Structure 1
Amino acid sequence: MSWKVTVLCENTVPVPGLLGEHGFAAYVETPTATLLFDTGQGFGLVPNSLRLKKDLAKVDKLVLSHGHFDHTGGMLAFLGVHGPCQVVAHPDVLLERFRWMPVGPDQKPVSIGMPWKEAYLTTRGARFQWVEDFREIVPNVFVSGQVPRRTDFETGDPKFVIRDGDGWTADPFRDDYSLVLKTPKGLVVILGCAHAGLINILEHVTRQCGEDRIYAVLGGTHLGFSPSEQLDKTLEELKRYQVQILAVSHCTGQAPIARLSAEFGPHFAFAPVGYTLAVED
């Protein structure tokens, strides 16, 4: 049987009839289970799943990469189609999240967290399973859990903050999850936004899986919001892994995408709505 990852929500679309939105969601089919990784904002999830013939009712578990609106906003739409479902997430997905943004002449913290309260979601069928560590959730599929920050160049974006008493502090993104598939060709690492740092994530999952081969990396890398020095060092370190398919999207940014395409050549792919990665057993 094959492993298949299909992007259901992303910022861009390649053909008419699909909907783009700032967000991410991927439909993951394995030999033993079907998973949904994130839900986008909620505008495109259901119509895109219908257009791409990916049945949301068949999903065994929903996994959330982190608690931002563009990854969790579609939960109600998903639960409305699916009915009650187990939701694997870090408990910090429920934190109030903010980003400093221009509002008129000033910079102000704007709410960007999950738009739904826990109680509201549970009454509509969300069955949260709180996971903080690296863990197998179905055969040969793992959530990264909290990712140790080991690199000195992946410093995060100081514009993302959470409340700290009467003030603000940098969001630690303890809930930044990736989904890891252990396939016959090597690991497939699916990223939400990689707030923990792409290289931190790859070091963590290879160590936890005891597997150095990374067949594919797919999803948002947040390099579009990173300083040029971080991009330079990330690309340098990324080449060590000899990734066969680097399929980026969402928050990677157009300039980093162009550079990744130039430097990784035939191993690079852009992953808009409808992009499918298939790995045969």
Structure 2
Amino acid sequence: MTVHEGWATTLEALLDKQQRRVFAAGKEKAMAFRVTVLCENTVPVPALVGEHGFAAYVETPKATLLFDTGQGFGLIQNSLRLKKDLSKVDKLVLSHGHFDHTGGMLAFLGVRGPCPVVAHPDVLLERFRYMPVGPVEKPVSIGLPWKEAYLTTRGAQFQWLETFAEIAPDVFVTGEVPRRTDFETGDPKFVVRSNGDWTPDPFRDDYSMALKTSKGLVVILGCAHAGLINILDHLTRQTGEHRVYAVLGGTHLGFSPVDQLEKTMEALKRFDIQILAVSHCTGQGPIARLSAEFGTRFAFAPVGYVLDVAD
């Protein structure tokens, strides 16, 4: 056995061990729904790529979807390492127009070829966030890295949706989420240009995805800029399914006021969530708090995390 072969064998063992430990994957059963995290800020084993961003590969009995693309650094390598075939994706869904969720579009289209892209038209807006630039904070561009026309020449077939919709059997996108809570106020550092001035980004394009399973809804978040509780309330109202089995993805609680975290923690108890698998923009402090509160129902969701839901 060569050194290279020995390393490859060791790596496969590490990946298999990690999946058995975290996802209880013994003898694998046929799963009705499977969500695999392809891009996220952290990785649990070697040969996977971490980056600030998010993407999830979603397999259902009737469709295969990609939810976001990360920045583009890890999507292809991670999909190959985790044996998730991007060429089989039926639709790409964009959670919102930030670079860390859309930057991998060209890499994806290079593998997939022409593909339907479900998104809110506001993903095309110029987006900014106040960040330190020298001694002061200034608006820095953080939006979609390419113009619509360039993406369409590369095979992006945009399907613009502004309202709640079923995009595949038992797969839904929120569309615009009504802001009903009084504590999910958003991050004022996110801004857009309006009439020559900077105004708070309304995040009309903040999408989440819901899978309607036999155990209840599986909710997949990009960054939850619309507010986690607003999103869950909207999805349970629109789908008519009030059981929320699992929530996976970024919650943006790491950038939220302390008061919002406390009220979010209290409101989450209404949903009796069985699996809370958060990551990306949730933040280390809120992650620790959620882990303490949810105990065995909590999971961290780095690259490689798999959520299976059987019939």
TM-score relative to the length of structure 2: 0.90
User: For 2:227 and 2:243, how far apart are their aligned partners in 1?
Assistant: 19
Runs of 4 or more above 2 Å deviation: none
User: For 2:245 and 2:304, how far apart are their aligned partners in 1?
Assistant: 20
Residue identity over aligned pairs, in percent, reads: 82
2:218 counterpart residue number? 188
CA shift, 1:164, in A, is: 1.1
- The CA deviation string for residues 62-94 of structure 1, in whole angstroms up to 9 with x for no partner, is 000000000000000000000000000000000
User: For 1:25 and 1:133, how far apart are their aligned partners in 2?
Assistant: 22
User: For 1:184 and 1:80, how far apart are their aligned partners in 2?
Assistant: 35
CA shift, 1:232, in A, is: 0.1
1:28 counterpart residue number? 58
Is residue 238 from structure 1 mapped to residue 261 from structure 2 by the alignment?
no
Is residue 200 from structure 1 mapped to residue 233 from structure 2 by the alignment?
no
SS of the residue 2:249 aligns to: strand
1:224 aligns with one of 254, 259, 262: 254
Unaligned runs of 5+ in 1: none
CA shift, 1:106, in A, is: 1.2
Question: What amino acid sits opposite 1:100 in the alignment?
Answer: Y
2:197 aligns with one of 138, 153, 167: 167
User: For 2:183 and 2:38, how far apart are their aligned partners in 1?
Assistant: 31
1:70 counterpart residue number? 100
Q: 1:1-281 maps to which residues of 2 (within 5 A)?
A: 1-281=31-311
User: For 2:45 and 2:270, how far apart are their aligned partners in 1?
Assistant: 34
Question: What amino acid sits opposite 2:182 in the alignment?
Answer: D
Question: What amino acid sits opposite 1:201 in the alignment?
Answer: I
User: For 1:133 and 1:31, how far apart are their aligned partners in 2?
Assistant: 24
Greater Rg, structure 1 or structure 2?
2
User: For 2:77 and 2:166, how far apart are their aligned partners in 1?
Assistant: 30
CA shift, 1:25, in A, is: 0.1
User: For 1:84 and 1:164, how far apart are their aligned partners in 2?
Assistant: 33
Q: Report the aligned-residue RMSD.
A: 0.5
CA shift, 1:166, in A, is: 1.6
Unaligned runs of 5+ in 2: 1-30
2:19 counterpart residue number? none
Aligned residue pair count: 281
